[in-house]
Structure 1
Amino acid sequence: MSEAIIEVNQLTKQFKSNRAVYNADFKISKGEIFGLIGKNGAGKSTLLKMIGGLIHPSKGEIHLFDHTVKGNHTYFERMGLLIENPGFFPNYSAYKNLELIAISYGLKNRKKHIFELLELVGLDKLNKSKVKNYSMGMKQRLGIAAALLGSPDVLILDEPINGLDPQGISEIRKLILKLNIAGMTILISSHILEELSKVATKYAIIHEGEILEIISTEELLLQCEERVELEVDEANIIIPLLENDLNINNYKVLTNQMIHIYDTHVENKQIINVLVENKMAVHSITKYKQSLEQYFLQRTGREGESFD
């Protein structure tokens, strides 16, 4: 049995002459927060709609809970979706909106379940205010509550922080982490890598419909971590000097000529002095620091552009 709760193989969606998603391949394990990162129009929403069963792929396969699914399969019912803007009756309260959805699902013991969800997302279960008077953050939290009706195993969120103020972003972030700690597997899209990095455990970078890279949080942070890139003749001869003379222990030997040093307490000139004193040649030494934004733009070949 596969460990993946979601797996897509060669997933493609073509809208006439527009290829929205092309040959997407990735796996999501139970308990992960999987971040789908890409600029607006990259194909994020289309991909999420296919995984959630809202639209049919033009090609490829979707595996949910270790089963291949096609068409309107019951496995799609184990997924809660908040894709694009949540639609509610503006003149009804949060409770009334959720009650109508629960009735359409045929849920029993609706009142208790709805009260629990409203409490979970931080909305007053007894508040009779109309949804039209809610802030955007409150509407997003209500949208997540609606997606959780029926107790799904997977929650799919499409740009849940889009347009929110800092307080609203913080509230959604805390809610996502709270749900994940409780065991929820979450697939979330965003065009803001800096914010997504605060919750996601793994990422897929999508650009013009194609998945460019699958990377874990640890790998991503390592790529963007401050370091010194040292190029020498022979790394194996240099290592004892770094460890013994400079007390450098956090480093990585990439090749016999290239070493990445992550100990930031040592200045470049100190490294050069020690190596020169020991008659070791230094071809280059560069202090490197890349932001998450720069990493994303570099991977999509759009360095120098604004990331919005």
Structure 2
Amino acid sequence: MTDCIIELCGVTKMYRSKAAVRNANLKIYRGEIVGIIGKNGAGKSTLLKMISGHVYPTSGELHFFNRAAAGEQSFFERMGVLIEQPGLYPNISAYENLKLLAIAYGLSDRETTIEKLLRLVGLDPKNTAKVKSYSMGMKQRLGIAVALLGSPDVLILDEPINGLDPQGIVEIRELILELNATGLTILISSHILEELSKIATKYAIIHQGEFAEVISKEELQQRCEERIEISVEEAREALPVLERELKITQYKVVDSRTVYVYDEHIRIRQIVQELAQHGIMVDSISRHKQSLEQYFLERTESAGERHD
């Protein structure tokens, strides 16, 4: 995956003297699902509004398809956007909502396009019920259909599961994965890392307007995976014992004194005993497993300390 379609270069957005987003740097590649994770008020919506062209950065640059976005309105037209509440007409049906927009967009073959989109998001094109009678999940689905109406390259969703019941969350998650399987690049914000972890391929953790970390799904899983942390005087002396005597194959050397062991079959007392028999004293050893929420809180707290 080498096709970078969106790049943020030192992007900052000021509202008077307050920075809603500060010095944001991020690359988004075609086909990714990028999760923007942060507490309420962290700057997620402002970030997505800048990417989608709803607000302009105070400083920094946005690049789309390796070209600067400034003055290029056509780039923003290649995005489907659902930020905050979907702008729907409550007194007409889902089909009629999409028809009005399709006419405004000047789309040809409107009937086929609308029926296909409604079925894609799990709504019945023949349902004549007014949108005001829809559940929140149905409205979110219709909002996504609206965002997809122009066949965008990128879909931007701001807190799409906020306020949904468990069934609604599952339905939106499955829809996002289905859309991504077609090659659509998706940016999705949330303050619920556990839910984002089920769909995102990359995470950008934002805190007080700054990125605390950008991390891939694989890196996050590894950091939160259960492990045994071993501290010895010289890690390189312990490795042959771990490999040869204990048959440990899944490990990571963190620094000159620390080794993480990921093999599930091994027990702490086995490691201590075998190392001691080979004259290697263990300074500390413990089993560690970090939840996604704990990881997120650690990163935002450390970012807050740097900011202070």
Alignment correspondent of 2:70: 70
Pairwise CA distance, 1:279: 2.3
Task: Compute the displacement of 1:302 (Å).
Answer: 7.3
Kept in 2: contact 1:33–1:187 (CA 8 A): yes
Worse-matched range after superposition: 118-127 or 293-302: 293-302
**Partners in 2 of 1:302 and 1:254 — Cα distance?**
20
TM-score after normalising by structure 2: 0.95
Counterpart code for 2:79: M
Paired residue type of 2:60: G
Residue in structure 2 matched with residue 134 of structure 1 by the alignment: 134
Structure 1's unaligned 5+ residue stretches are 304-308
Quote the Cα distance in structure 1 between the aligned partners of 2:71 and 2:94: 32
Q: Judge conservation of contact 1:53–1:72 (CA < 8 Å) in 2.
A: no
The correspondence of residues 159-308 of structure 1 with structure 2, limited to 5 A, is 159-301=159-301
- For residue 137 of structure 2, give the secondary structure of its aligned residue in structure 1: helix
Where in structure 2 are the equivalents of 1:24-35 lying within 5 Å?
A: 24-35=24-35
Output the CA distance in 2 between the equivalents of 1:151 and 1:231: 54
Structure 2: which 5+ residue stretches go unaligned? 304-308
After the TM superposition, list the runs of 4 or more consecutive aligned residues in structure 1 that deviate by more than 4 angstroms.
none
Whole-angstrom CA distance in 1 between matches of 2:162 and 2:302: 22
Residue identity matched to 1:299: R
2-structure distance, mates of 1:302, 1:110: 51
**Partners of 2:302 and 2:166 in 1: CA distance:** 27
CA–CA distance in structure 2, aligned partners of residues 172 and 229 of structure 1: 38
Match of 1:119 in 2: 119
Residue 266 of structure 1 deviates from its aligned partner by: 1.1
Of residues 269-278 and 176-185 in structure 1, the stretch that sits farther from structure 2 once superposed is: 269-278
Secondary structure at 1:20's aligned position in 2? Answer: strand
2:9 aligned partner? 9
Matched residue type, 1:222: Q
* TM-score, with length taken from structure 1: 0.95
- Cα offset for 1:277? 2.2
1:164-217 deviation digits (Å, cap 9, x = unpaired): 111111001101100111010001111001100111101111100011111000
Q: Hey, what does 2:306 align to over in structure 1?
A: none
Answer yes or no: is the 8 Å Cα contact 1:56–1:71 preserved in 2: no
Contact 1:53 1:71 (8 Å CA) reproduced: no
Please provide the CA RMSD for this pair: 1.4
State the distance in 1 between where 2:263 and 2:195 align: 26
TM-aligned CA deviation for residue 267 of structure 1: 1.2
Residues 117-149 of structure 1 show CA distances to partners (whole Å, capped at 9, x for unaligned) of 001001111111111111111110110000000
Structure 1 residue 240 displacement after superposition = 2.0
- Note the C-alpha offset of 1:71: 4.3
SS across alignment from 1:290 = coil
Correspondences of 1:73-152 after superposition (within 5 Å): 73-152=73-152
Q: Tell me the amino acid that sits aligned with residue 295 of structure 1.
A: Y
- Give distance in 2, aligned partners of 1:49 and 1:266: 49
> Quick one: which amino acid aligns to residue 126 of structure 2?
L
| Of 246-255 and 37-46, the range deviating more from structure 2 | 246-255
Tell me the distance in 2 between the aligned counterparts of 1:269 and 1:198. 35
